[in-house]
Chains A and B, each alone.
Chain A
Amino acid sequence: MSATGAGGQPDVIVIGGGIHGCSSALHCAMRGMRVLVLEKDYPGRHASGVNAGGVRQLARDFAEVPLSVLSMALWHRIAELVDDDCGFTSDGQVLVAETEEELTGFRERVRKLNDLGFTHEELIDVTELRRLVPAVSDSCPGGIVSRQDGAAVPFRATQAIRRKAETLGARVLEGVRVETLARRDGVWTVATSAGAFQAPVVVNAAGAWAGRIAAMAGEPVPLKVIAPMLMITERRPHFIEPVVILRGRKLSFKQFANGTVLIGGGHEGRPNPDTNETILDWAKLAESAQTVWEVFPVMRGASIMRAWAGIEASMPDHIPVIGPSARNDGLYHQFGFSAHGFQLGPGTGAVMAELIATGATNTPIDAFRIGRFQHDPPQSAAAP
């Protein structure tokens, strides 16, 4: 059965309506491609809609830096790109050193980045740290600031990108679950809970469920489904502008304009990707609470209003899978962002569209190739 609908056969089927799927749909549509997005729940239901909203180049794996810098440029003109500012603000992000030893490591990191030609991270001393983050504990000796960084409202951003893609002709189907993938004569048939769809190109942007899609295409990956937890406080008097992150202990910390303070940092709960449920691990959230208690004494009396977790994909090396399939023509992967993919959304979509349209990109993405997890020679396992 075929159910391609009124739009006719699309050029590209994107599986997954998170920020990455929607961004690839948008950039493909901007290049004139007909795009169909298949989303099993609703766009932004999982990690893309409920993450901490950090828009961060700071403290990234060196392999991600060029892509992150590209994406940052798009964030700074996001309102122009998607007709909505996505709640994006640019008050900087600060990586706080808790010890002199940590600060020494940071100095080395900034030097290496500068050698590679990147200047967005600046080492700061205790004076500048106290100026940027007056509430930080006296014991912290310095840190790194990335002044162009900031934060956005995740669900709003994902929705805005989706809507702009739709304005440009992309179709987004909600509540449609992909069941099988098969390729014949250069065309993919994607069988779903709502019938089959066909297109020459498929993008796997299925987040925590991307491992299943990759396996359907005969390309299994060691993807781990995770549930990073976040919690938010009641409104507090305004005391901090930039987003603050720690390296040694897991913490990210952000006060919104309304005064609420978001506390995250990557402690994980228990996900159930079959039911969409997550169960929180309060002992680990208590560790986050303890860290905040120590680093921001001003927060000790704050009330926690809500805690939650999003369902996300993590790779063993904590960097994503981006680029063409190693085994199938016309299949592209875009997943495994390992709980730091929100900022990369706009840029990665642009790179995917470039790859699909031109077969190449100037942005270095080789480190993200899926083949890094395939130890047998690719040609021996080529799809039939």
Chain B
Amino acid sequence: MAEASSITTPAELDAAYDLAIVGAGPAGMAAAKEAAGHGLSVLVLDENAGPGGQIYRAITRSPAPGLAALGADYWKGAPLAADFLAAPVHYAAGTTVWSLAIAAEGSGHEIGVSIAGAARMVAAREVILATGALERPFPVPGWTLPGVMTAGGAQTMLKASGLVPDGRVVLAGSGPLLYLLAAQFVAAGANISALLDTTPSANWGRALPHLPAFLASPYLRKGLALLWKTRRSLRVMRGVSAISAEGDGKLASVRFSKGGAAETLPCDLLLLHQGVVPNINLSNAAGCAQDWDETQLCFTPRLDAWFESSVPGVAIAGDGAGIAGAESAALRGTLAAIGAAFRLGHLDAVERDSRAAPVRAELARMGRGRAFLDHFYQPAKPLRIPPQDDTIVCRCEEVTAGMIRAAVAHGVTGPNQMKSFLRCGMGPCQGRQCGLTVTEMIAEARGLPPTEIGALRLRPPVKPITLSELASLPKTEAATRAVVR
């Protein structure tokens, strides 16, 4: 039986592939398997050491003590990863993708990658971006203090290294993942003082019309089980607002309002989380059009029925196409691969549509109930748009909310001018941590919808590369052609 070939140096790369897939989470793994099944030459590029993405991180490694805590949904990733590793694809793990652009000559795309400290350009006729999600920024006073981190970051350490936080832990925020993380930490033996739920009670009204679909959805069972487990095992405080992390040089306590009264809880670790948003850095830098999603309160790429973006030959699957969860991600990956196989002439329209029909049906089933979650878990405005002027918005460049508001008053009309003006979004994170906040702040200050304000234009390298890596890229035109063709 065929199996995935590991690529560990640039020299092992083919000059060109039919399809390059960025990301080996559920969407990328499913897309690779599907595409290989249609006879495409496939390259999968992923920055992690093994397949699984964020949700199924380290899925192929034998369960370390404590990993049982991750729950049954986590282990659903195992067969997906096994199928992927059995598919005849090239798989470059531990690889950074730092650029995607239309090729200079002919059709197709040029992808900048770094493998084992050396950079190369790889050509692909079709590209599927399966770059997943990242946590929504949570800009509250003190969020940059040592001892404050994102709940997702802590989960990554748990999954990758079995690290369980020491000391008193407080979780704060909203969203379905927060409860999952809480349950995982409790099961792993963390000392959680409290979960501060910031879900605004007003969200009930907005979410109610979507309740019937939710009650009939697969989310319900999962959600109730989680809530039940979490409630039973830790102190959950609801209706929390105005969170701030306090401490002199490092976190000492978290301060918050509950029912109009201020409270303080001493803690050693504060884990913040208020949902995830699509990681669109690479698609944005590649010029894919994107729109503001009024419900999920984030930018999502503009896609057709086959998840193809406004840039022909670049499809976006998984949570990077809009948050829908791991099981939907795999289905979207499959559909995107079917679309790519069709565009490359490996399938005709009839084969494509019949192959896709059951996948679409399953995707529709998985999507039921999503609207309820999206409305119910919309994060509170003061936790997205910091009301205090001295709250940091751009962590890399230490730009505060007050500076941004002052710049808008000064005539700065959009995030790109803001970037040029204040450097927010110019640091190593490339605006991952401040982009949404900046757009929403400008929108609010100008009284316009975020869609009219637009997003930061991101610049490659989407992930930093070293000068030495870049210098290792073949330089002469002839050498470049030999590599890119």
Contact = CB atoms under 8 A, between A and B. Distances in A.
Interface of A: 42, 44, 49-50, 154-156, 159, 163, 232-234, 258, 270, 277, 279-287, 289-290, 292-293, 299-308
A303 B465 contact: yes
Contact of B460 (A50, A159, A280): A280
Contacts of A306: 426, 430, 459-461
Given A289-B471, A293-B471, A304 B465 contact: yes
Contacts of A44: 417, 420
7 contacts: A155-B421, A159-B421, A283-B480, A289-B471, A304-B461, A304-B464, A305-B464
Contacts of A283: 121, 473-477, 479-480
Nearest to B112: A282
B282 interface: no
B411 interface: yes
Given A300-B467, A304-B466, A304-B467, A282 B459 contact: no
Interface of B: 99, 101-102, 104, 110, 112, 119, 121, 287, 411, 413-414, 417, 420-421, 423, 426-428, 430, 459-461, 464-468, 470-477, 479-480
Contacts of A287: 475
A283 B101 CA distance: 13
A280 B101 contact: yes
A286 B426 contact: no
A218 to B, nearest CB: 34
Contact of B470 (A49, A156, A163, A304): A304
B420 A282 contact: no
Nearest to A281: B104
Given A279-B102, A280-B99, A307-B461, A286 B430 contact: no
Contact of A279 (B104, B427, B472): B104
Given A233-B467, A308-B459, 8 more contacts: A44-B420, A234-B428, A280-B99, A282-B119, A302-B466, A303-B467, A305-B428, A305-B430
Contacts of B430: 305-306
A154 B420 CA distance: 8
A343 B472 CA distance: 34
Nearest to B398: A258
A279 B101 contact: yes
Contacts of B461: 304-307
Contact of B121 (A277, A282, A303): A282
Contacts of B413: 42
A155 B417 CA distance: 8
Contacts of A303: 428, 464-467
Contacts of A302: 466-467
B420 A286 contact: no
A292 B428 contact: no
A234 B413 CA distance: 27
A307 B460 contact: yes
B104 A270 contact: yes
Contacts of B421: 155-156, 159
A155 B411 CA distance: 13
Contacts of B104: 270, 279, 281
A294 to B, nearest CB: 9
A225 B477 CA distance: 21
Contacts of A154: 420
Contacts of B460: 280, 306-307
B157 to A, nearest CB: 23
A270 B421 CA distance: 26
A116 B30 CA distance: 71
Contacts of A289: 467-468, 470-471, 473
Q: Which of B426, B466, B467, B477 has the most CB of A within 10 A?
A: B467
Nearest to A270: B104
B380 to A, nearest CB: 32
B190 to A, nearest CB: 33
B420 A156 contact: yes
A172 B94 CA distance: 50
A163 B411 contact: yes
A164 to B, nearest CB: 12
Nearest to B462: A306
Contacts of B411: 159, 163
B473 A301 contact: no
Contacts of A50: 420
A283 B120 CA distance: 9
A282 B99 contact: yes
Contact of B467 (A156, A163, A293): A293
A286 B477 contact: no
A286 B465 contact: no
B123 to A, nearest CB: 13
Nearest to A300: B468
B51 to A, nearest CB: 27
Contact of B420 (A155, A284, A292): A155
A302 B459 CA distance: 18
Contacts of B423: 258
Q: Which of B102, B417, B474 has the most CB of A within 10 A?
A: B417
B481 to A, nearest CB: 9
Nearest to A283: B480
The 8 closest A-B pairs by CB, nearest first: A155-B420, A286-B473, A289-B470, A289-B471, A303-B464, A283-B480, A306-B459, A290-B471
A282 B104 CA distance: 11
Given A282-B112, A283-B474, A292-B467, A305 B427 contact: yes
Nearest to A308: B459
Nearest to B287: A277
Contacts of B119: 282, 286
B425 to A, nearest CB: 10
B468 A301 contact: yes
A301 B461 CA distance: 16
A232 B112 CA distance: 17
A301 B104 CA distance: 29
Contacts of A279: 101-102, 104
Contacts of A299: 467
B475 A234 contact: no
Contacts of B420: 44, 49-50, 154-156
Nearest to B465: A304
Contacts of A277: 287
B22 to A, nearest CB: 17
A249 to B, nearest CB: 12
A286 B99 contact: no
